[in-house]
Structure 1
């Protein structure tokens, strides 16, 4: 029996009405100007190319898809879908059916409302503590937002500030930390198997002072 491994699709979040680029590039960066590649979604023809763009595109995507002509020589078969609609939601494949030595296929999942990368900031800091803030905007479904330390431990945080508009959620989560470390804000949407994070590094001034004292003692 032969088993095939299908990699998890790369997830890209998008808001309705915006433009989105679906990435597809050969790691070899070989020239694909004269090669065939096909973009499809659930059996629908999204974009076909074989030395030049081909007809046969599904009506749903007609007039809304463009490619990067000047990048073909670098192995870049990415496309841009303009004015995205809810119906565009789903899994896309970028397929090089006749590529040698073997065929290559890439999978992209386009998800409406997927949480973008959180925005993190240090709001206030003293010698002993720092107040960190994480902001996630326009996410749907509602994500779970957490702060973690450098070891992956979940940190206690204040009650999140949540606002909802048109089924999309903005969430602000603050936490107070007391030691030098790398801290991570994680937004998880289990319903769509999507998780993103942003990191920030905090150096406590009190520890700087301690290091300075140690250096002075050593070189005294």
Structure 2
């Protein structure tokens, strides 16, 4: 007999009416009697339903993890999902079949199962006048990696082995076996559980030589009926090195080698110390008064002076001016840097002093005559400059890699000493009679000219001074 569309609609309305009538009665909460075994990474359903199959749409549905003190996994109440107080690691992984609530299906879907999901889950249903619950056990199963065996070397006359396997759940057991399957006496198992609840286990063992030298590491989990094994064979030669006489021989050899190496190092160090002493004797800074005996007369060369520099009539002072002077373009003049040279070049040993008192910026040193005076370049030895600079309160030696330093006292008068044969340019604080900085292993190929740059931050002159024995 065929049922019309109108009749079918009337039947559905009648069914819903009957459900509503029964909803005020008592009910039972039912679920599976056996544990639910889940494979890590899979999705599972925790069955729960009402008997009779009345609607749960107007009820409160709670899923709890009884292994947690405040173990709310999921809550449905007042026709909506309540996410307050949910255990954090269940967030985004739990849901009900809301379209099935009208016929009493309150099953929970749990996605992407992990090791920490294992436990006892309670399905608690509450109406306005009645409640009931049901508890189901969830077991999480995951088979870890194949055991990895590594050789740790000789241990107490035998050979040390380590076995390790990771990613198991529940916690597995690790045992060592000989070739006949007999358990070996091993160290205590070491177990670690990661944030997802999976276990890593490892165990050390010391094995003695046998007729086969075959050993097996077995990781097993009896509850999920899983096990994995790795076998290793050790060559007899490995155990030969562990015999007492061989060990004694090796120790003697090592001691002999250490003795020979030690003697060689002592001889090398003595030789090296002699070389260092000779080098220091050869390259140590000479006495300051001895240095000053190599004074030379320095006069500034006006033909090399930048147009903004103002020189004294006697050629002993230079300062920075505000305006470019009208001067001849003779090819010797600095055009891009406010600098001036001495009028004579020197080789051998020579020394001169420059008064810098009161100045906030200056650059002093020596240069080769053939430096480029028309282009801006970095004042470093590779470009023919050996200079020290004061700028912004900081002292810098313009080596190929700039060296910044802080003298004990800022010099009021700077001494510049060159030893052409030793390839060395040194700077001194004249008042303190102390060394400031030295360029060593310089490469000189032509005469060196005194170099002066008064800077543009003040109008105080650099002054070439005669060496005064009373300083």
Larger strand percent: 1
- The TM tier, using the shorter chain, reads 0.3 to 0.5
> Rg bigger for which structure?
2
